[in-house]
A and B are shown apart, each in its own frame.
Chain A
């Protein structure tokens, strides 16, 4: 009896403690919303009145729009390339057993472990030599390096739960290997591939450091935001932040609807 009471006391303490942590995690995001509708001309809190001016200043500034277009182009390119390359190598890693497989495994995982700043500067060196700095597809190549491990992680997990005998059965019934993979395997791991694609998109869309070095004057959205924060911190960036939170929210919701879910815990 005493024990039970003590335990429920512990639960209440735990709930209060976690409540604080949850507040710490979420509160900063909600700060951005009121600021983006501020009627003041500079950053101040609480905002003195309501206005759309910072959203208008975003829409009417060609530099912001250009950065947004560049970011979307880069992210779409990364999504296609990383999903393709990642899925292929995931098949190879899960199903193959060849000498050097463990080294391929390490090579594919490495871009997560090597700090981004090192990848960024190294690529900057390469791109500078081939005059790729400032080209959107240069940034796309860099982001693909960084996104491949995530794709392999998600697609690999999906592939491991797939029973390869189904493919053999299809081939036994007269399908070619390609037909078997296309009609039997791919439809079943489609949720994993879709999740991986969304993950690649968000990874690229949010990435700053590689873009900071390799995008040159053709800034992506995060780079433009970074420079804006450093040089002229005005509430335009709050409006951009809100739009970005909404976009990522839409992407995550879509992924949860069509993929295996964007909950990295499962």
Chain B
């Protein structure tokens, strides 16, 4: 039997009346077709544009051109920093939300959820107001006589980092919190009872137990950071370039779709590798 006949047979089985799951298949079909035609095929076509035109030169350019390597490296660095800061700021917060008395827990949730539900644009605008030339920090320092000329805080990597950590930290806190909540506190008591000092309890018992949450939170933040557009575009002001900003420029300014496609392929590859590594590290802990 040829491969295509095999495929046809399995196709006939999947959609045929003999399949007890036929109803489920038909129920999923419209969504699958929708996503194929408006998502999977357009995305694949876009990234394979150069190949369709019979050249691999754009991919080579994206992976060897000095400027592009720099941008890719820069994007990677920013994503790594954002992930690190989300961990440093978010991990204690997740712990706080787990152990705090009810009133404080409520206030804490409020503080994490309100920004989470606020538009990223609004939050980025707020940072412009705070960090701008005539912004809050500059006006305060000027009127206090601490500085004489306004500081240039915008359009810098730290400003972009600040804005991105602010937007993405909740994505780290949620999975870590949900893991922390399920931890059996008897394990902690047992470790203490056996004479382990606090730091040892944390490093050998608590942290490893929360690792699945940390991994999925960190991966989520890293993936979202790699493709982030709004904050670098507004707070970076063209001086801090990330891949996504470059893709936008090649489409809208240079009208070079081939190269934009090649850059997108690189961005997606890095994203999928990060995602694959996380899946591999968390084998068995199935969420989807």
Query: A residues bordering B, Cβ < 8 Å?
Result: 6-7, 10, 14-15, 17-18, 21-22, 24-26, 28-29, 31-32, 35, 42-46, 85-86, 88-89, 91-93, 95-100, 104-105, 107-111, 113-119, 121-126, 141-142, 144-145, 148, 202, 206, 208-209, 213, 222, 225-226, 229-230, 233, 237-238, 241, 244-245, 248-249, 252, 262-265
Contacts and interface: CB of A to CB of B under 8 A. Distances in A.
Interface in B22-55: 24-25, 27-28, 30-32, 34-36, 38-40, 42-43, 45-47
A118 B47 contact: yes
Interface string B91-119: 01101100010001001110111111111
A208 B120 contact: yes
B268 A45 contact: no
A88 B30 contact: yes
A117 B229 contact: yes
Most buried by B among A6, A42, A265: A265
The 9 closest A-B pairs by CB, nearest first: A115-B227, A96-B24, A92-B28, A28-B126, A89-B31, A22-B111, A122-B42, A122-B46, A241-B122
A89 B115 contact: no
Contact of A32 (B34, B126, B169, B177): B126
A185 B231 CA distance: 43
Given A17-B92, A113-B271, A248-B117, A125 B257 contact: yes
A114 B44 CA distance: 11
B149 interface: no
Interface residues of B, number: 85
A45 B135 contact: yes
B211 interface: no
B35 A26 contact: no
B267 interface: yes
A121 B251 contact: yes
Interface of B: 10, 13-14, 19, 21, 24-25, 27-28, 30-32, 34-36, 38-40, 42-43, 45-47, 89-90, 92-93, 95-96, 100, 104, 107-109, 111-130, 132, 134-136, 139, 166, 169-170, 174, 177-178, 198, 223, 226-227, 229-230, 234, 244, 247-248, 251, 257, 260, 264, 267-268, 271-272, 275, 288
B93 A21 contact: yes
B169 A25 contact: yes
Q: Main SS of the interface on chain B?
A: helix
A157 to B, nearest CB: 10
A70 B100 CA distance: 43
Contacts of A126: 38, 42
7 contacts: A21-B92, A25-B166, A28-B123, A100-B14, A115-B271, A116-B227, A222-B121
Contacts of A142: 38
Contact of B43 (A29, A45, A119): A119
A225 B226 CA distance: 23
B31 A209 contact: no
Given A17-B92, A117-B247, 12 more contacts: A14-B92, A29-B114, A107-B40, A117-B244, A119-B39, A122-B264, A126-B42, A144-B34, A145-B39, A148-B35, A226-B121, A244-B119
